[in-house]
Structure 1
Amino acid sequence: MTLTRDEAWKRLALHPDPTLQELFDADRDRVDKLSTRLDLGNGAERFGIVFDWSKTHLTDDLLADFEGLAEAANFPEMRRRMFAGEVVNPTEQRAAEHAALRGVGRDTSVEEAEALRERMKLLVGAIHEGALGEVRHLIHVGIGGSALGPALAVDALGRDEPLVDVHVVSNVDGVALEEAFAACDPATTLLAVASKTFTTIETMTNAHSVLKWLADSGVADPTGRVVALTASPEKAVEWGVDETRILPFAESVGGRYSLWSSIGFPVAVATGWEDFQAMLDGAAAMDRHFREADGRGNLPLRAAFADLFYTRLRGCQTRAVFAYDERLRLLPDYLQQLEMESNGKSVGVDGEPVGPTAPITWGGVGTDAQHAVFQLLHQGTHLVPVDFIASVEAGDTLDPAHHTILLMNCFAQGAALMAGRGSDDPARRYPGDRPSATILCDDLDPATFGALIAFHEHRTFANAVMLGINPFDQFGVELGKEIAKKIERGGEKFDPSTEALLKAAGVG
C-alpha cells in the first residue's frame, strides 16, 4: 500500500526512542549496517570515503519507514527529473543541471557543458602559458555561491605552491578588497568577475574598484585584465569585457551549485586543469552513486533520513559540522549557504505551509572548536546532531604526531558524545546519547573533495524532496536588497528605528 507523505510521517512518529548505547547493545551488526565505505573512481584513480551513521538513532525499522516516506514523496521520480534536465524548480520553471556540468545528466546539457568547459580550459591554459602576460595574482569578485564555492575549493586544494595566487572577495566592505590589493602586484593581477546576471550590486561595485586600482597603479588597459564568469554574456560585453575572456554558464545552474561551471575558473587557475578535472570526476562518481542506488543504500538519501529524524521527530533546530582538517576550514560556511538557502523555506511546492525544514547549519574546525563550542554539545540543553569530517592522510609534512593527535581527537569526540559519563557531581556529569556521524576520506585530494561536495548537494536535494519544498529558488534574499535600493534612491520613509539609524550613519 502506497502511503501519503502525511501518513508516512505519522508512522515515523510512532517509533520507540532507545538510546544509542541500547541500539549498539541490541545489534552487533550495527556498524556494518550503518557504516559504509564507498569506493569511487576507476582503476588506479580509485578512492574511498567511509560514511559512518551508526552513532545516529537510525534503526532498521526507522530506515524502512523513511524509505516509505521517500516513496510517498515521489523521490525516485524527482531524482530522475533532475538528472533528465526536466523542471525541478517550479517557481522559476527551471531545471537544475549542476550534475550535467560533471558529465552526468541530459545528453544535450552534458555536451553543452563540455563545450563551455573546453572554452575555459583553453583560457586557463593560455594564462598559464603566459599568453596574457605574466599573471601571478587573480582577484575573484563574486558573492554567495559565486564566492563561497571557489573560496572553499582554492583554500582546500590550492595550498601547495599554487600556479596563481587567488584572492576571493565577496564582501562589499572595502576593507576586504584592500586586503587583496595589499597582497597583489597590479602589474601581474587579473580580475575575475563572477555574477550570473552581471548586475549584482556588491560584485559590480567591487569590480569597478578593482579596475580603478589597476588604472591608478599604471595598468594601461585595466578592462583587458578582466575575465567574466556569467550566465549573461551580453551584459559582460556591454560592460567592456572582450568576448574571448567571457566564460558563460547555463541559466539552469544555480549559484550555490555553480562551482563546477566557469565559476570554478579561479580553482583551475590556482591548481591547474588536471586537478580541476579530477574534482569534476570525483563529483560525477558521487552523482552516479546517487542516481543508481536505492533506499538506505543511497548514502546522501540515508544522511537525509537522519537529518529529518532529528529535525522533525526530535525537534533539533541546528546541525553542526566540524572538519578535522584545516584545509576544510571554510566548509561550514559553504554548507550554510547550500543547506539554508536551499531548504530554509516555510511553504511547500504547493504553496502551503510546511513543518520544520532546514536546521541552522553551523560549525568550525577541529581541534579549535573543542575548546570553544563543545561545552554546549556535551553538557548543554540543546540536542545538536554533529557531523565530523576527516582524512586518513595528512595534509602536512610535519611530524606524523600532528595528524595522529588530530584524528584521535576527532574519534574521541564522537565516542564521548555518545557514551557520556555519570558523576555524583552534577557539574561533571555528561548525559551522553548525543548523535554524530563521521565522514572519513582516504585523502583530501581533488577527486575526494569533489565527491564530498556532491554528496552534500544531493543530501540537500533529498531533504527537500521528502519535505515537499523547492531547494532551487531563494526569494528570501530579495526583500533586503529591494529595501537597500529604496534607501539608495531616497525619498522613502521607513520605521522609526531604521530612520534613526540612517540619520546616525549619514546614509540616504
Structure 2
Amino acid sequence: MAAPLPPRCDETAAWPALRQHFEGEGRRFDVRRALAADPGRVEAFSLQAPHVFADLSKNLLAAEGERLLLQLARECRLEAQRDAMFAGEAINATEGRQVMHFLLRAPRDEAVPPGLASELAQVHETLEAMLAFAESVRADGQITDIVNIGIGGSDLGPQMATLALDEFVAPDKRFHFVSNIDGHELAGVLRGLKAANTLFLVASKTFTTLETMTNARSARQWFVQRGGTDVARHFAALTTHVQAAAEFGIERTFGFRDWVGGRYSMWSAIGLPIAIAVGAQRFRELLAGAHAMDRHFRSEPLERNLPVRLALLDVWYRDFHGFGSRSVAPYHSALRRLPAYLQQLEMESNGKRVDRQGRVLPYATSPVVWGEPGTNGQHAYFQMLHQGTDVVPVEFIAVKTPAHGLAEHHPQLLANVLAQAAALMLGKDDPGGHKHFPGNRPSTLLLLDRLDPQSLGALIALYEHRVFCAGAIWGINSFDQWGVELGKVLARDIAPRLASGDLAGLDASTAALVRRLRA
C-alpha cells in the first residue's frame, strides 16, 4: 500500500496561523522599523551557504512569521520529501520517474542507496567520455566554432553557464547557441562560419524535438553546401536515441537518463558545450560547487538551510502578500542570461494549477520571474520597482571580486547594488507626490566572493532546491511540464494547413489568420 501523500500547505495547522499573523502584523510590517528596533535582525536573517552568502534582512518578515513558515515546512513534511528525492523514489508521479539531477554532480565514491550505485557508475562513465571528447575538441586547432543546437533546458543552461564563465573560456574557440525555429537565428549564426572549422552539437533527448531537428537539418544542409564532407566529425549528438542520431549521420553520441529533466540537465551530457568552453577540470569544479550545495540542502536544519529559507519567502510573498512576480537583478554582466534560465527553472517547474492528486489549487503558485543585469535594469524598469503600484520583491546578486583590472568600475557597481536595495527599503518623502518613494519594498541580496565554476554551480543548485521546496509546500509536482505539450500538438496540425489551405475544424480566428498568411 502506497504511503499517504504529505499534506498540502493549506491542510496544515500552520496555514491559518500564518493567515492570522499576516492580518495582524504581517500586512503592516515595516522593515525599516524592524531593523532600527532589533540590532540582531541582520544576523538572524543572514545565512552563509557553500559559496553563497544571503542577506534576507530587508524582507517583509518578522521573527514570528519566520517561525510559522518553518512550522509550515515541517507540517508539510518537507524534510521527508527531500529525503525521498535523494533516496531515488519516483517523486515525479505523473510520469512515473525518479528525480536525480543531484546524482550528476555526486563524486564517484559518494555513499548512495544501493539501488543508485549502478546509476552513479553510469553517470561517471558518461562524464568521463564526455570530458575526454571536450578535451579533444579544445586541442583541435581546426575547430574554431562550436554551435549548440537545442531548446529549453538543452539551450538555456549551457548558454547561461558558458556566458557566466567567460573568464575561463578557451580563447581560440567561439560558442554559438541556436534554439529558435525562426530561421533568422540560425542564418545569423551561420553567416560568419566556415564548414571546415565548425562543430555542431545537436541536443535533444529523443532526437525528435521540432525546433531542434529543424535547425539540425538546416545546419547539415548548410554544412554540405559549403563543402563539408564529414558529418560524423563535425556533428555530435546529446541524446538517448542513438539510432535516430546514426540515421542523421552522427556517430558520436552522449546520452543521459530519463530521470534528468531538461531544465535540470546542464550537469549531464547537455553540459558538453560548457565542458568544451572551460575544460574538464573546471567542469568538475562546477559539479563540485553544486554538490556542496546539495550537501548543505540535505544536512542543514531548516532554520539554517538557504534553499528552504528562500522557498518559504516565496510562499509568504505569493500567497499572503499576493505579490505576483519577482525580479532577479544580477550585478555582473556575465550573468545576463541567468534571469532567462531561472524563468524556465521556476515557472516550468511550479507553474501548476493542480496538486499531486489533480485537485485544483485554491492558492497561487509560481510567481513571474523576470529581470536584467544591473545597472542596465536601473535605467529601464527600476522606476516601476521604486514608484509603481505593484510591489515586486527584488533578488540582487552581487560578486565581491571582479575578474577584470578596470579599477574604477567595480566599486561603482557594488555601490549601485547596495544603494538600490537601500533605496527600495528606505524610500523618500515628497509632499508633491512626484518624487515620493513609498519605501518598505523588499529585497534579498545573494553575494558570491567571485564568479567561478564552483560558485556558479552552488548558485544554480541553490535555485534548483529552492524551487523543489516551494513546490513541495504547495503540494504540486515540480518535475513535469504538460503545459508545454498542447501548443506543440496544435502546431503539428496547423503547419500542413498553411501549405494546403485546409481550414476544416479550425476555430474562426485561426482560420482567418491562416487565410491571411496564405494570401
TM-score (norm. length: structure 1): 0.94
Aligned match for 2:205, one of 196, 205, 230: 196
What is the SS of the residue equivalent to 1:260?
coil
Query: How far is the alpha carbon of 1:406 from its aligned partner?
Result: 0.6
What residue in structure 1 maps to residue 402 of structure 2?
394
Q: Does 1:125 align with 2:135?
A: yes
Aligned match for 2:99, one of 89, 96, 101: 96
Task: Please say which of residues 82-91 and 65-74 is displaced more in the overlay.
Answer: 65-74
What residue in structure 1 maps to residue 272 of structure 2?
265
What residue in structure 1 maps to residue 120 of structure 2?
110
Matched AA of 1:466: I
CA distance in 2, matches of 1:69, 1:232: 43
CA distance in 1, matches of 2:20, 2:325: 23
Matched AA of 1:123: F
Aligned match for 1:61, one of 44, 49, 64: 64
What is the correspondence of 1:37-48 to structure 2 with a 5 Å cutoff? 37-38=48-49, 40=50, 48=51
What residue in structure 2 maps to residue 43 of structure 1?
none
Q: Does 1:497 align with 2:509?
A: yes
CA distance in 1, matches of 2:7, 2:87: 26
Q: Does 1:284 align with 2:291?
A: yes
What is the correspondence of 1:277-426 to structure 2 with a 5 Å cutoff? 277-354=284-361, 355-398=363-406, 400-426=407-433
Query: How far is the alpha carbon of 1:160 from its aligned partner?
Result: 5.0
Query: How far is the alpha carbon of 1:3 from its aligned partner?
Result: 8.6
What is the SS of the residue equivalent to 1:382?
coil
Query: Contact 2:339/2:372 (CA < 8 Å) preserved in 1?
Result: yes
1:86-140 CA-to-partner distances (Å, cap 9, x unmatched) read 111000010111100000664332222111101111211222233xx72111111
What is the SS of the residue equivalent to 2:371?
strand
Query: How far is the alpha carbon of 1:223 from its aligned partner?
Result: 4.1
What residue in structure 1 maps to residue 3 of structure 2?
none
Q: Does 1:81 align with 2:67?
A: no
Task: Please say which of residues 141-150 and 231-240 is displaced more in the overlay.
Answer: 231-240
RMSD across aligned positions (CA):
1.6
Query: Contact 1:464/1:470 (CA < 8 Å) preserved in 2?
Result: yes
CA distance in 2, matches of 1:122, 1:340: 35
Query: How far is the alpha carbon of 1:216 from its aligned partner?
Result: 0.7
CA distance in 1, matches of 2:77, 2:67: 16
Query: Contact 2:231/2:249 (CA < 8 Å) preserved in 1?
Result: no
How many matched pairs?
493
Query: Contact 1:20/1:56 (CA < 8 Å) preserved in 2?
Result: yes
What is the SS of the residue equivalent to 1:302?
helix
CA distance in 2, matches of 1:107, 1:291: 19
CA distance in 2, matches of 1:179, 1:402: 32
Aligned match for 1:5, one of 4, 9, 12: 9
Matched AA of 1:282: G
Q: Does 1:19 align with 2:25?
A: no
What is the SS of the residue equivalent to 1:405?
helix
Query: How far is the alpha carbon of 1:225 from its aligned partner?
Result: 1.4
CA distance in 1, matches of 2:428, 2:139: 60
Aligned match for 1:225, one of 234, 242, 261: 234
What is the SS of the residue equivalent to 1:249?
coil
Task: Please say which of residues 414-423 and 23-32 is displaced more in the overlay.
Answer: 23-32
CA distance in 2, matches of 1:199, 1:78: 33
Query: Contact 1:158/1:267 (CA < 8 Å) preserved in 2?
Result: no
Query: Contact 2:385/2:391 (CA < 8 Å) preserved in 1?
Result: yes
Aligned match for 2:47, one of 8, 33, 36: 36
What residue in structure 2 maps to residue 45 of structure 1?
none
> Structure 1 residues 108 and 78, CA, compared in 2 at 3 Å: closer, same or farther?
farther
CA distance in 1, matches of 2:53, 2:237: 38
What residue in structure 1 maps to residue 223 of structure 2?
214
Query: Contact 1:211/1:223 (CA < 8 Å) preserved in 2?
Result: no
Query: Contact 1:141/1:147 (CA < 8 Å) preserved in 2?
Result: yes
Query: Contact 1:421/1:432 (CA < 8 Å) preserved in 2?
Result: yes
Query: How far is the alpha carbon of 1:275 from its aligned partner?
Result: 1.3
CA distance in 1, matches of 2:289, 2:7: 36
Q: Which runs of 5+ in 2 are unaligned?
A: 1-5
Query: Contact 2:310/2:466 (CA < 8 Å) preserved in 1?
Result: yes
Q: Does 1:446 align with 2:453?
A: yes
Matched AA of 1:150: P
Matched AA of 1:129: A
Query: How far is the alpha carbon of 1:177 from its aligned partner?
Result: 0.7
Query: How far is the alpha carbon of 1:4 from its aligned partner?
Result: 7.1
What residue in structure 2 maps to residue 275 of structure 1?
282
Query: Contact 1:318/1:360 (CA < 8 Å) preserved in 2?
Result: yes
1:359-400 CA-to-partner distances (Å, cap 9, x unmatched) read 0001111001111101110010001010000100113222x2
Query: How far is the alpha carbon of 1:310 from its aligned partner?
Result: 0.6
> Structure 1 residues 501 and 431, CA, compared in 2 at 3 Å: closer, same or farther?
same
What is the SS of the residue equivalent to 1:365?
coil
CA distance in 2, matches of 1:229, 1:412: 44
CA distance in 2, matches of 1:26, 1:346: 40
1:36-60 CA-to-partner distances (Å, cap 9, x unmatched) read 223x3xxxxxxx3211111112222
Query: How far is the alpha carbon of 1:22 from its aligned partner?
Result: 2.0
> Structure 1 residues 231 and 282, CA, compared in 2 at 3 Å: closer, same or farther?
same
Query: Contact 1:96/1:252 (CA < 8 Å) preserved in 2?
Result: yes
What is the SS of the residue equivalent to 2:175?
strand
1:163-192 CA-to-partner distances (Å, cap 9, x unmatched) read 521101101111111121123222110110
Identical pairs, percent: 42
Query: Contact 1:342/1:474 (CA < 8 Å) preserved in 2?
Result: yes
Matched AA of 2:9: R
Task: Please say which of residues 55-64 and 293-302 is displaced more in the overlay.
Answer: 55-64
CA distance in 1, matches of 2:256, 2:425: 45
1:1-34 CA-to-partner distances (Å, cap 9, x unmatched) read x997323211111111221112212321011111
Q: Which runs of 5+ in 1 are unaligned?
A: 41-47
What residue in structure 2 maps to residue 44 of structure 1?
none
Query: How far is the alpha carbon of 1:219 from its aligned partner?
Result: 0.8
Query: Contact 2:194/2:226 (CA < 8 Å) preserved in 1?
Result: no
What residue in structure 2 maps to residue 51 of structure 1?
54
